[in-house]
Amino acid sequence: MPNLEEYEDKSAYYVRAHTSDAGEVTYRLLEAGRSVLWTYGIRDSDAISWAIVRALDVLGVIDAGGPTTLAPDELAPNIDSGAGALSDDDALEFIKIVQTQLEPSRDDIAALRDILGLSGRKAELEVIGVAIDEHIESRSEANAFPTPLDIESTEETETTSNTNIEWSTVDGHERAKFQINLVTESPNHTLYTTHCLHISENDGLEKWHASIDAAPSWGRKIFVIKQKAAIIPTLVSKLEASTLELGDPSEQLNPTVENWFD
């Protein structure tokens, strides 16, 4: 299996591997590629999956010495060295990092799914759920995520997010219901909000409605609408970076806010 190594002069990193046909080979790693691996948790002398090496090549962050991408048979490892296949969770984590640090095209994402062994667009929908949670909690830490109007501006608030996905198949296409569960806490208040997004792999965002654990007063509705506005940019950017459709935004301009107990 390949390993990540650093040049003696510490000028850059490279991937070193032993193949059955070509013997020992090295591929210079561009800084963007090193950053992706570092975030993924790979350090000096750590082993790297062959699938990740191919993915880095597709992304253009590894110098393979030629203008074409590396075919599987060009990087065929010894049968006893282990191909280093990734689990679905690890593959999703790698793609999430790539989407965060690089600007992959839809074709790039499709190629990564194939290389990493993720079937269909279900994996892309999984990545979107993770990205939304991270975006919300990052903005909350920076005090930039919306808070209810009835919470004093001097109160310190924190919003945590947990997204669950329910799957269904309609006419052979995957459909996901994202349930984004938000808890906004301050010293004197705790408010629970749920945003439900219905996304189809072929029609994009189809429906968005929200529920809160209180009467949907004018102030609370504004609060939920502001939450939605804070989530939309991340949702759109991830959909645009994927092979999924965006959907028709005109259907989402009239937000539905419900009381959990109605």
Average pLDDT score over residue span 103-107 = 78
The average confidence (pLDDT) of the chain is 78
- Percent pLDDT > 70 in the chain is 79
Does the pLDDT at position 81 exceed 50?
Answer: no
Q: How much is the pLDDT for 9?
A: 80
Please report, in angstroms and rounded to a whole number, the separation of the first and last CA atoms in the chain. Answer: 57
How many Cα atoms occupy the beta-carbon half-sphere of 86 within 13 Å? 26
pTM: 0.57
Q: How much is the pLDDT for 152?
A: 58
The CA distance from 127 to 51, in Å, is 19
Work out the number of other CB atoms within 10 angstroms of the CB of residue 157: 19
Q: How much is the pLDDT for 77?
A: 45
Does the pLDDT at position 261 exceed 70?
Answer: no
Q: How confident is the model at residue 195 (pLDDT cuts 50, 70, 90)?
A: very high
The per-residue DSSP string of 166-233 comes to EEEEETTEEEEEEEEEEEEE-SS-EEEEEEEEEEETTTEEEEEEEEESS---HHHHHHHHHHHHHHHH
Tell which residue, 82, 3, 88, has the closest CA to residue 37: 3
Does the pLDDT at position 76 exceed 50?
Answer: no
Q: Which residues are CB-contacts of 12 (< 8 A; sequence separation ≥ 6)?
A: 6, 28, 29, 30, 31, 34
The CA distance from 154 to 187, in Å, is 11
Does the pLDDT at position 203 exceed 50?
Answer: yes
Q: How much is the pLDDT for 78?
A: 40
The Cα-based distances of 54 to 44, 50, 87, 118, 126 in angstroms read: 19, 6, 16, 14, 22
Of 39 and 239, the structure prediction assigns the larger pLDDT to 39
Q: Which residues are CB-contacts of 171 (< 8 A; sequence separation ≥ 6)?
A: none
The answer to whether 204 and 239 have CB atoms below 8 angstroms apart is yes
Q: How much is the pLDDT for 68?
A: 44
Does the pLDDT at position 55 exceed 80?
Answer: yes
Domain ranges for the chain, please list them: 3-116, 122-259
Does the pLDDT at position 84 exceed 60?
Answer: no
Average pLDDT score over residue span 219-244 = 84
pLDDT in tens, 130-180: 888 888 888 888 878 887 765 655 567 888 888 888 888 777 677 889 999
Question: Starting at the edge strand that comes first in sequence, how are the strands of the sheet with 3-6 ordered?
Answer: 3-6, 13-19, 23-29, 62-63
